[in-house]
Amino acid sequence: MKFFPSVLFLLLTAAGVTSCKINSLHSTNKQSCCSQAQAESPGTFTDKSVYQIQTTWTTDGGNQIKLDKLGGRPQVVAMFFANCQFACPIIVNDMKRLESSLPPASRSRIGFTLVSFDSERDTPAALAEYRKTRALSAEQWTLLRGNPDDVLELSALLGVKFKADANGQFAHSNVITILNAQGEIVYQQVGLNQDIQKARQTLQQLVEK
Amino acid sequence: MKCSVQKLFIALIFVISATSQSSGQRPSVGSTPSGPPAGMVAIPSGVYFPLFRAETDLKEIAVKTFCLDIFPVTNGEFLEFIRSNPRWRRSAAKRILADKSYLKNWADDLDPGSNAPVNVPVTSVSWFAAKAYAQWKGKRLPTTAEWEYAAAASPNRADGQNDMAFKKQILQWYSTPSAEKLSAVGTNRANFWGVHDLHGLVWEWVADFNTAMVTGDARGDTGIDRQLFCGAGSQGAKDVGNFPAFMRYGFRSSLKADYCVHNLGFRCAKDL
């Protein structure tokens, strides 16, 4: 019986912390929309930029790139793994819906990036195969793999939770993140098959600046 | 203000257990050529049974022999790190890597001051800062499995699960609000492996803190909360009597990597 009150307390606490953080994320967004003056060369991204992480990743073409190579244009980012049987195809589909909802002029100024949880199986060749199967355009889409430590770090930055299970699958949260050109998180869509209007508007505003 | 009060609450929640099996061999402490580096002990290999798992989760996780810091990292040690890594000074740290509470108890960038004595665990550090420190030391953060496995040991046994005095002591710590001022490291008795302060001083970051609270069902992350925290659902847990492990699990799952909490510190691990 003693257990129950403490659990209730725990849940309330966790909920409280979450709302507190969401507030701070909103204030971040307000600032970020006005800080376009920041230079976009590596190393000079803002304090709120995901590109503060200087890790190196491998593309499906086998090229090594620093994360900040993605900067300079808004990016729609999701974490996934190619063997995913359920959620990831839907996440990718949501991103493709988002891509096709944009007018061509805007689309060409936005990047779409998929980063794999599965450092072992998602080799550049496996990612290249995934690009082909899913018809992801070379101009817009970047597919990345990294070492497990860097994957964990990026997921922590994006607030994505994941865990390998016993069947070689990964349980993971489903989050699509929109980064502005500086790499600041301006919007996150959580869940699958969501209404993409808000995400679309966010991107539209970013490219119209 | 709201945030700091909430953090205080989280801070009240975090520390012990998980059942474990091991060879029961007490490890050697010290810095012999083939042994663990100074300040660390070798924890022999064993098995960690996750407190809670979904159907598809691993039932047990093998923990390979590894080295673990004997004490949590102190303010004094963290100061050395900051001296060598100016980008981790309080005034220079990137906001995305450490929230505004980063090292808030320090007097200045290079002065821990009287509120953060050099022999007391460093707290109010984010996961990114802890990770950077560990890398700088040529070490890494322990995994949840490693930490829980090491922390399952009582002063006299590798597996403290049935050591009632040990369990009681930890619960007592959990039910006491954090002291205004933290004690120096090493004040608590060493456990079976020779590691101090895994319980009773500060909460500690683990490398994979963000793997807690993910369901096997990728459609949502709510299932496990229900299973873990609704009375009957907790039957799915490995050891329903292990309140401290529930609390640590809950605490970890409420963290984000940039959070800096006043009683959350860390220690490092290393492969042997």
Fold of A40-208: Glutaredoxin (3.40.30)
- CB atoms < 10 A from the CB of A93, how many? 13
Q: Give pLDDT, residue A14.
A: 40
**In chain B, what are the domain boundaries?**
2-271
A191: region left, alpha or beta (phi > 0 left; psi from -120 to 50 alpha): left
Q: Give pLDDT, residue A53.
A: 87
Half-sphere exposure of A135 (CA within 13 A, CB side): 5
A141 DSSP β-pair partners = A112
Q: Give pLDDT, residue B54.
A: 58
Q: What pLDDT band is residue B26 in, cutting at 50, 70 and 90?
A: low
Nearest residue of chain B to residue A162 (CA atoms) = B211
Contact B96 A48 (CB under 8 A): yes
Residues 103-142 of A with CB under 8 A from B: none
Query: Higher confidence at residue A104 or residue B248?
Result: A104
Q: Give pLDDT, residue B27.
A: 57
Rounded CA separation B206/B190 (Å): 20
Contact A162 B211 (CB under 8 A): yes
Q: Buried (b) or exposed (e) across B173-199, using 16+ Cβ within 10 A?
A: bbeeebeeebbebeebebbbbbbbbbb
Among the residue ranges A92-101, A117-126, A189-198, the one predicted with the least confidence is: A189-198
pLDDT tens digits, one per residue of B37-93: 999 999 999 998 876 665 666 778 899 999 999 999 999 999 999 999 999 999 999
A193 DSSP β-pair partners = none
The second-level CATH assignment, the architecture, of B2-271 is Alpha-Beta Complex (3.90)
Q: What pLDDT band is residue B17 in, cutting at 50, 70 and 90?
A: very low
Q: Give pLDDT, residue B61.
A: 87
Rounded CA separation B220/B112 (Å): 43
Rounded CA separation B249/A163 (Å): 14
**At A198, is the secondary structure helix, strand, or coil?**
helix
Rounded CA separation A120/A146 (Å): 9
**In chain A, what are the domain boundaries?**
1-32, 40-208
Q: Give pLDDT, residue B14.
A: 39
Q: What pLDDT band is residue B24 in, cutting at 50, 70 and 90?
A: low
pLDDT tens digits, one per residue of B197-207: 999 899 999 99
Contact B6 A17 (CB under 8 A): yes
Average pLDDT value over all residues in chain B? 80
Which residues of chain B does A87 touch, with a Cβ-Cβ cutoff of 8 Å? 218-219
Q: Give pLDDT, residue A21.
A: 35
pLDDT tens digits, one per residue of A11-25: 434 433 333 333 333
CA distances A152 to A78, A162, A183, Å, are 14, 9, 18
B63 DSSP β-pair partners = B46
pLDDT tens digits, one per residue of A29-80: 333 333 333 333 445 789 999 999 889 999 999 999 999 999 999 999 999 9
Q: Which of B95, B212, B229 sits opposite A48 (nearest CB)?
A: B95
CB A40 within 8 A of CB A104: no
Max CA distance (Å), chain A: 62
Contact B231 A162 (CB under 8 A): no
ipTM over 0.85: no
